[in-house]
Amino acid sequence: MRILSIATALLLTASIPALAQDVIQDTGPHTMDGQLQNMQTHGYQPRKAEPSEMMMQAKPASGAMIESQGNGAIPANAIEVQTSGQVTYMTGGISDEEVNMLKAHANEFNLHVLINTTGGAYLVTDKFHIMDSQSVEVLRVDDAGPYVYAKLTPGTYTIEANEGGEIKTAKISVPAKGAAKVQMTFKQ
């Protein structure tokens, strides 16, 4: 039997308890317990792991996870309506589930931005800004996209998105009713 990482053992314990129990009970030299005993015999004393180190799991900023209903390749994160100053916005849309969450709220926002590459792949930009007609920044979001929906006071705005040093800008007129739609396309 090969040596398993702690993450693999935790995954086995959660998903295949019978197999994991066999692995955990076997304390031969090729298991985690056997390796630990061998290391302790030779003077290695492990330190106590902090709870945050014991389980490494990616969490969205909101701390909530939604199980993927699709093929499970990209788990959907909960997308929440956020506020920055006077602007309410949502950003995300990597998975189909996230796109559906955004589209369910689309009528609440009068600006819809899609950020992608020339090949059509979704893209999350390093920096995303919206400035009003006096060049005053009304919204700044780091790691924005591929969809950004915002509710702005009707008027003229400039959107600037920066990805890896490539900067795209768009001037838009945001209506009182309906939504302005903008697509910002970066090189692949």
Report which of residues 127 and 24 the model is more confident about.
Answer: 127
C-alpha distances (whole Å) from 152 to each of 61, 127, 131, 172 are 23, 19, 11, 11
Q: Which domains does the chain have, with CATH numbers?
A: 6-54 (no CATH), 65-186 (2.60.40.10)
What confidence score (pLDDT) does residue 188 get? 77
Average pLDDT of the residues of the chain: 75
Contacts of 124 (CB under 8 A, 6+ apart): 94, 115, 143, 144, 145, 146
The residue count for the chain: 188
What are the tens digits of pLDDT across the range 94-120? 888 899 999 999 999 999 999 999 999
Per residue in 160-178, pLDDT (tens digit) is 999 999 999 999 999 999 9
Per-residue pLDDT at 83: 93
**Longest alpha-carbon distance in the chain:** 74
* DSSP classification of residue 46: P
Number of other CB atoms surrounding residue 180 within 10 Å:
19
